[in-house]
A and B are shown apart, each in its own frame.
Chain A
Amino acid sequence: MFKIFLMSTTESLSKSLDLTTTYLPIVMMIVVALIVAFGMLALSIFAGPKYPSKAKEYPFECGWLLDSKDTKRKHSIKFYMVAIMFLIFDLEIVFMYPWAITFRQIGLVSLVEMFIFLSILVVGYIYVWKKGILEWD
């Protein structure tokens, strides 16, 4: 029973999968990115000059006293509001991305569709603006 399940998954995979040609550039990009990122770190660890001093080992912190007993800081809800607004407007990318890629083939109607979509969201944007969510006071 389980064998059939595995078989069905793997077979459908191998049929639709042509990793070596399609995704080679992406794999290469990921590899290069990893090499660069870790390479930089490694270089700075092994090759960088090190002059340790007491002031440098002291953790850098701006505004707060380190030995303050009250470690439970209160954060403003404004952070959350900004984050959630970012998230919602970021979701538009789900639709903008395919739209932009095929724009030459899908013609004028799609332009109008996207216009309607965005104008509904602009209503939300105006609302957020007038409510003062974007202000930081």
Chain B
Amino acid sequence: MIDNISTIHFLKEMLYLIPLLILVFSSMIILLVDVFAESSNKRYLAPLTSLFLIFSAISIFWLYKYIPKSGVKILYNMVYVDHFSLVISAMLIIAAIITVWISSDYLERYGIAIGEFYSLLLISLTGMILMVSTTNLFTMFVALELFSIPIYVLAGFFRVYGKSIESSIKYFISGSVASAIMLYGIALFYGVFGTVEFSEIERHIFNHYDSVAQIAKTEPLLILGTLLIMAGFLFKTAMIPFHMWTPDIYEGAPTTVTGFMGFAVKATSFAAFFRVVVSIFNTPSLVYSENGTISPSSWINVIYVLIIITLIVSNLIAMSQRNVKRMLAYSSISHAAYLMIAILTFSLSKTKDSYGSLLFYLLTYLFASIGAFAVLSIFEKNGSNSVTLENLNGASKRSPFLVASMLIFIFSMAGVPPFGGFFGKFYLLKSAFVDGSLSTLVLIAVITSVIGAFYYLRVLVFMFMKDVESDENIETLNVPFLGKLAIALSAIAVVYLGVFPNSLIQFMGETISNFFIK
């Protein structure tokens, strides 16, 4: 049992939450500035937001130096800050900064440059950071809602377009059902153990049960709880067959929002799922049968099968898409499968390499995915809120800069050697291959990534090869300054990750905290 915390101590512990506090305060300040400021001054909202985000990022760097390797559990174990959570938080903040820079001009083009966008973005980011820095199922659920609800609203931000509203409502309803399913799983765990703290649940499972068969016999609620929580996470990470919402929502949402949620929601859910897997699901009695082999009814086999299905189906469907946003939605589903391979690898082998490869993959995916959506948001025809392959015709003549950056992002996502994405995939699959038991999975992943290269490269074909029939369409796109900065920085980052991957992947491996190696 936890002792009572005095007020002073409680306040001291809030120190570890400084990145969160900055975000919360800035979201409220921006809301108030937005309603009180003159409309001519509203163009300063985006720089103001990015300033706050940079403050928050600085506080994360400071905390990274400050906290010990074992992480700190604070506020009655409601929040757990360690290096892992800080690294993911830093990535999320980078994603938010890029999104803000691109959105400021994008929203203005659509005539709804209002502060609520930034405010909701910041609240959502708060929820995400809270979600990755907790080892408590209650906090996790509240954080899940805290980051989901603003995202539902942001998806419907273009209220005048039916597709945007549709995507918002679809996301809201299906997301709420997924949250409810996950909450049911949490309730079952709480019902069985009387606690929602990861480490305590783990200890209970370790002490009381030996094998999956025994659990199924004496405490089947545990299996049900595992499956329900897993279903909630699989929905949020958009693994097949929980992916149905993804294409519609990615297509209907404002493109910059799609870029943000494509990375941030996925990264947050994966990070949280990673913690749940490492701590609760990975307890030997939930994985192994009595003779020490992986039990056929273990959750690992469920994930294993789902990864194979996701890899094959998502890549095949993506090939038939004409709408680039839908195509990237399916591509994001296939990336989810890769990340799931990394989680599976780590839970089987527990090596620093597989841990580092997961984070490195997320980092490459961050820049490539948000960068690609940023380019699309500029190519987008006003009023349609979607980009088809035909819209990209002759793009190389309209803006060489954008096309060059898109080339980098697409090559990175397809896994072409000199770019970050290749090394992300390479390290991830290498550590999965070294483990041995996952070599079939690695083979399928390699084959499907070759299939995937086809539809990625088709985007480039449309950009370079196809000419526009009529000449009047060829007008140079003028890229706004902040957007140009964001895209250029993302492209540079992708190239840097491809050229110098070693130091970063080593660094990522070093951020492993005592939570993961016990």
Partner of A109, one of B7, B31, B32, B35: B7
Is B28 on the interface with A (CB-CB < 8 A)?
Answer: yes
Q: Specify which of A120, A123, A127, A130 lies most central, judged by the most chain B CB atoms within 10 Å of its CB.
A: A127
Contact between B35 and A127, CB atoms less than 8 A apart: yes
Considering only residues 82-137 of chain A, those with a C-beta below 8 Å from chain B are 109, 120, 123-124, 126-127, 130-131
Nearest-CB distance from B188 to chain A (Å)?
A: 15
Nearest-CB distance from B127 to chain A (Å)?
A: 14
Contact between B28 and A120, CB atoms less than 8 A apart: yes
State in angstroms the CA–CA spacing of A126 and B7 once bound together: 30
1/0 per residue, CB under 8 A from A, across B16-38: the answer is 00000000000010011001100
Report whether over half of chain B's contact residues are helix, strand or loop; otherwise say mixed: helix
Nearest-CB distance from A18 to chain B (Å)?
A: 23
A-side contacts of B31, CB under 8 Å: 123-124, 127
B-side contacts of A124, CB under 8 Å: 31
Look across to chain B and name the residue whose beta carbon is closest to the beta carbon of A131: B35
State in angstroms the CA–CA spacing of A127 and B27 once bound together: 12
Look across to chain A and name the residue whose beta carbon is closest to the beta carbon of B10: A109
Look across to chain A and name the residue whose beta carbon is closest to the beta carbon of B35: A130
State in angstroms the CA–CA spacing of A127 and B37 once bound together: 12
B-side contacts of A123, CB under 8 Å: 28, 31-32
B-side contacts of A131, CB under 8 Å: 35
A-side contacts of B32, CB under 8 Å: 123, 126-127
A-side contacts of B28, CB under 8 Å: 120, 123
State in angstroms the CA–CA spacing of A131 and B35 once bound together: 7
Report whether over half of chain A's contact residues are helix, strand or loop; otherwise say mixed: helix
1/0 per residue, CB under 8 A from A, across B467-482: the answer is 0000000000000000
How many contacts between A and B, using CB within 8 angstroms? 14
State in angstroms the CA–CA spacing of A123 and B24 once bound together: 12
A-side contacts of B35, CB under 8 Å: 126-127, 130-131
Look across to chain A and name the residue whose beta carbon is closest to the beta carbon of B27: A123
Nearest-CB distance from B365 to chain A (Å)?
A: 34
Nearest-CB distance from A4 to chain B (Å)?
A: 13
Contact between A130 and B36, CB atoms less than 8 A apart: yes
State in angstroms the CA–CA spacing of A124 and B119 once bound together: 12
Nearest-CB distance from B41 to chain A (Å)?
A: 15
B-side contacts of A127, CB under 8 Å: 31-32, 35
Nearest-CB distance from B501 to chain A (Å)?
A: 43
B-side contacts of A126, CB under 8 Å: 32, 35
Nearest-CB distance from A66 to chain B (Å)?
A: 35
Considering only residues 2-17 of chain B, those with a C-beta below 8 Å from chain A are 7
State in angstroms the CA–CA spacing of A131 and B7 once bound together: 37
1/0 per residue, CB under 8 A from B, across A37-53: the answer is 00000000000000000
State in angstroms the CA–CA spacing of A15 and B35 once bound together: 56
State in angstroms the CA–CA spacing of A120 and B126 once bound together: 15
State in angstroms the CA–CA spacing of A126 and B35 once bound together: 9
State in angstroms the CA–CA spacing of A123 and B29 once bound together: 9
State in angstroms the CA–CA spacing of A131 and B114 once bound together: 12
State in angstroms the CA–CA spacing of A127 and B123 once bound together: 15
State in angstroms the CA–CA spacing of A109 and B6 once bound together: 10
State in angstroms the CA–CA spacing of A131 and B36 once bound together: 10
State in angstroms the CA–CA spacing of A28 and B434 once bound together: 72
State in angstroms the CA–CA spacing of A130 and B114 once bound together: 14
State in angstroms the CA–CA spacing of A120 and B35 once bound together: 16
State in angstroms the CA–CA spacing of A68 and B35 once bound together: 43
State in angstroms the CA–CA spacing of A127 and B35 once bound together: 7
A-side contacts of B36, CB under 8 Å: 130
State in angstroms the CA–CA spacing of A120 and B36 once bound together: 17
Look across to chain B and name the residue whose beta carbon is closest to the beta carbon of A122: B28
State in angstroms the CA–CA spacing of A131 and B32 once bound together: 11
State in angstroms the CA–CA spacing of A8 and B36 once bound together: 59
Nearest-CB distance from A17 to chain B (Å)?
A: 19
State in angstroms the CA–CA spacing of A65 and B444 once bound together: 70
State in angstroms the CA–CA spacing of A46 and B74 once bound together: 67
State in angstroms the CA–CA spacing of A130 and B31 once bound together: 11
State in angstroms the CA–CA spacing of A109 and B7 once bound together: 7
Nearest-CB distance from A2 to chain B (Å)?
A: 15
Nearest-CB distance from B10 to chain A (Å)?
A: 8
Nearest-CB distance from A107 to chain B (Å)?
A: 10
Nearest-CB distance from B423 to chain A (Å)?
A: 43
State in angstroms the CA–CA spacing of A109 and B31 once bound together: 28
Nearest-CB distance from A6 to chain B (Å)?
A: 17
A-side contacts of B7, CB under 8 Å: 109
1/0 per residue, CB under 8 A from A, across B70-101: the answer is 00000000000000000000000000000000
Nearest-CB distance from A126 to chain B (Å)?
A: 7
State in angstroms the CA–CA spacing of A124 and B28 once bound together: 8
1/0 per residue, CB under 8 A from A, across B422-461: the answer is 0000000000000000000000000000000000000000
State in angstroms the CA–CA spacing of A126 and B33 once bound together: 11
Nearest-CB distance from B327 to chain A (Å)?
A: 36
Look across to chain B and name the residue whose beta carbon is closest to the beta carbon of A109: B7
Nearest-CB distance from A102 to chain B (Å)?
A: 16
Look across to chain B and name the residue whose beta carbon is closest to the beta carbon of A108: B7
Nearest-CB distance from A19 to chain B (Å)?
A: 24
Look across to chain A and name the residue whose beta carbon is closest to the beta carbon of B29: A123
Look across to chain A and name the residue whose beta carbon is closest to the beta carbon of B28: A123
A-B contact pairs, 9 of them (CB 8 A): A109-B7, A120-B28, A123-B32, A126-B35, A127-B31, A127-B32, A127-B35, A130-B35, A131-B35
The 9 closest A-B pairs by CB, nearest first: A130-B35, A123-B28, A109-B7, A127-B31, A127-B35, A131-B35, A123-B31, A123-B32, A126-B32
**A123-B28, A130-B36 given; 11 more Cβ-contact pairs under 8 Å:** A109-B7, A120-B28, A123-B31, A123-B32, A124-B31, A126-B32, A126-B35, A127-B31, A127-B32, A127-B35, A130-B35
